[in-house]
Amino acid sequence: MPKILVIKFGALGDVVMATSLIKQIQRFHGDSEVFLITSPAFTSVFEHWDDLSVIAFSRKGFLETIRVLSWIRKSGFNRIYDLQSNDRTSVICAFSGVKERIGNHPRFPYTHHPADIWTGQCHIFERMLMVLESAGIHAESVPPLILSNDKEKAGVREWMNRHHLANGAFVILHAGASSAHPEKCWPYFLELAQVIDQSGHSVVWVGAETEARENRQRAETVGIDASNAFSITGLAELGRHACFAVTNDSGPMHILSASGIPVYAFFGPTNWLRSHAIGQREHVIIPPGLSSDIYHPETLDKIKVSGVVDILRTAGSL
C-alpha cells in the first residue's frame, strides 16, 4: 500500500486551516496510508479522525530535525505534502529520499508546486489550494474540520447545563491574543459584552490559562469565565451551540470557524486579506475608513463599540 506523508507543524491557526486540506489529501489517496507530522501541542486536533496516523515532533532544534529525517527515510513514503514549506521543512524534504515532494515554492526540493513565487499575494489558504492543485488534487475551499466524540459532546452539554446556557442563546468572546502581539487585542470587549448581555444573550469568555486572570475580572462584571475549560476540539464543540463569536486575530478565531457559526474578528495591525478565518471573510471587522480590499495597518482602538454593535445588528446577530 502506498504511503503518503503530510507535514504541518504549526502554528495553531495554520494547523486548523490545514485540516480541510489534509482531509482532501486523504480522500485523493484513498488507497494509501496517510501520515501527518505535527507539533505535540496540536495532535489533539486530529484525535477523532479516522485513517490518519499522527506523529508528533518538536518544531525546533537541529537534533529534532535529524530525528524527523531518520524516521521519514526509514518509513518508505511515496509522496510528501509539505504544507509548512519553511526553511526547515524544505531541508527535511530535500534529504527525505522521497521521490515526489509537494510544496509552496517553485524551486528545489519540490517536484510539484504552484508556478509563481509566493510573496504573500493572497490568503495563505488560497495558496495551499494551489499547492494541492499542483499535485493533481481538485481542491475545494471548505471550512476547517474539527471533530468531537460522544464523550466530548456530552461534556460540553453538561457544562452548558451547569451554567444554565441554552442552545443558541449565548455568545463566545475571546479577548486575548498571542502574548507576543498585544497590539492584536481590541480594548473594548467588556463594553461590548455588556451590550450583548443586555440584548438577552449570555456571554462566555474563553481563553487559555494565560488569559484566565483577565477573564475572571471580566466575568465579575458580566458573563461566564470559561478560561482553560475546553480543549481545542471541545471549544469547537462549544461553538456549535453558540449564537456567534467575537474574537481577535487568534487561534480561537480559527477553531471557532469550524463550528458553523459567524465568527466576527478584529483586524487592524495584521493583514485580514491574508489571515482571516476560512469562510468568515464577511465577518472581518476593521477600523472605519479602511478599504476591505487593500491592507493598511491601523490600531484597533479606532474600532468603537457602537460601530461593532451596528455591524452585529445589521447582520442579524443581535
How far apart are alpha carbons 89 and 81 in whole angstroms?
Answer: 10
35: enclosing H helix or E strand: strand 33-38
Per-residue pLDDT for the chain (318 aa), expressed as one digit of tens each? Answer: 999 999 999 999 999 999 999 999 999 999 999 999 999 999 999 999 999 999 999 989 999 999 999 999 999 999 999 999 999 999 999 999 999 999 999 999 999 999 999 998 999 999 999 999 999 999 999 999 999 999 999 999 999 999 999 999 999 999 998 888 899 999 999 999 999 999 999 999 999 999 999 999 999 999 999 999 999 999 999 999 999 999 999 999 999 999 999 999 999 999 999 999 999 999 999 999 887 777 888 999 999 999 999 999 999 999
List Cβ neighbours of 98 (8 Å cut-off, separation of 6 or more): 5, 72, 77, 78, 79, 80
Q: pLDDT at position 289, please?
A: 84
User: The C-alpha cell of 153 is what?
Assistant: 459532546
Nearest to 26 by CA among 69, 79, 72: 79
For the domain made up of 150-314, give the CATH fold: Rossmann fold (3.40.50)
Q: pLDDT at position 230, please?
A: 97
* CA-based radius of gyration for the chain: 20
Q: pLDDT at position 291, please?
A: 77
What residue segments make up the domains of the chain, in order of their start? 3-134, 150-314
Query: Would you say the CATH fold of 150-314 matches that of 3-134?
Result: yes
CATH (residue range 3-134)? 3.40.50.2000
How far apart are alpha carbons 225 and 206 in whole angstroms?
Answer: 7
For β-strands 100-102 and 3-7, DSSP reports them as: unpaired
Q: pLDDT at position 179, please?
A: 82
pTM exceeds 0.85? yes
Q: pLDDT at position 290, please?
A: 81
**Buried/exposed code over 191-222 (b: 16+ C-beta within 10 A; e: otherwise):** bbbebbbeeebbbbbbbeeebbebbeebbeeb
